[in-house]
A and B are shown apart, each in its own frame.
Chain A
Amino acid sequence: MNVFRISADLLHLLSIFILLLKMQKTRSVAGISFKTQLLYTIVFIARYLDLFESHAEKSFELVTLYNIVMKIIFISSSVYTLYLMKKKFRATYDPNTDTFRIEYLLALCLFLALMFNYRFTVMEVLWTFSIYLEAVAILPQLFMLSRTGEAETITTHYLFALGFYRAIYLLNWIWRFHMEDYVDWIVWISGAVQTALYSDFFYIYYKKVLHGEKFVLP
């Protein structure tokens, strides 16, 4: 555990908090892609299946407890978000702007996970699948943003926190590579792709929102 990793995780938590705040405060899910939220829920469940494995034989460290708590928060908040979008604030969701085809993303990531993994077991392939899927899970949201052409400021704060936490993870890996000889190519390449997908968004967020303007696509 290092300062980059902990800051990234806290920023990830903050992004979830901002998303929940946006929905509760405006009592609306307008501008939020249900498909992206669904993909995140699939990502968390596929990756954190180890929660249901026996922990008895594992050496118990503080970081294990930390991971367990975070995993439970990530899964439950993403399921709760789906509930808010599908039930509580359903009337404010506009499916006509959320038209990205996630079937292709799911199929591509499953294919890649079956081809490129560290070990060909169910748990490992699902873990790898979740890494690949997380890298592209934001695409429906960015697609929705490009279709509507503008976004509420609080929604852009959510996206910024979500993208920026991935950028800090890159620093974490550089740090770990130097300090622990840590190498994880699957995570590194996916993480780099994931962060790169935000570049246009980061640019417009910096140009507009940080200067007090509304987020509008040029």
Chain B
Amino acid sequence: FRDSIRHDEL
């Protein structure tokens, strides 16, 4: 999966 998981929603 993605290297770094960035949750950019609230």
Report the interface size class on chain B.
Answer: under 10
Q: How far is the CB of A174 from chain B (nearest CB, A)?
A: 14
Which residues of B sit under 8 angstroms from A70, Cβ to Cβ? 10
A118 on the B face (CB < 8 A) = yes
Q: How far is the CB of B6 from chain A (nearest CB, A)?
A: 9
Q: Is the interface of A mostly helix, strand, loop or mixed?
A: helix
Q: How far is the CB of A109 from chain B (nearest CB, A)?
A: 17
A interface, CB within 8 angstroms of B: 5, 9, 12, 50, 63, 67, 70-71, 74, 118-119, 124, 127, 169, 172, 187
B interface, CB within 8 angstroms of A: 1-2, 5, 7-10
20 interchain pairs, CB-CB under 8 A: A5-B9, A9-B10, A12-B10, A50-B7, A63-B8, A67-B8, A67-B10, A70-B10, A71-B10, A74-B10, A118-B1, A118-B2, A118-B5, A119-B1, A119-B5, A124-B5, A127-B7, A169-B9, A172-B9, A187-B9
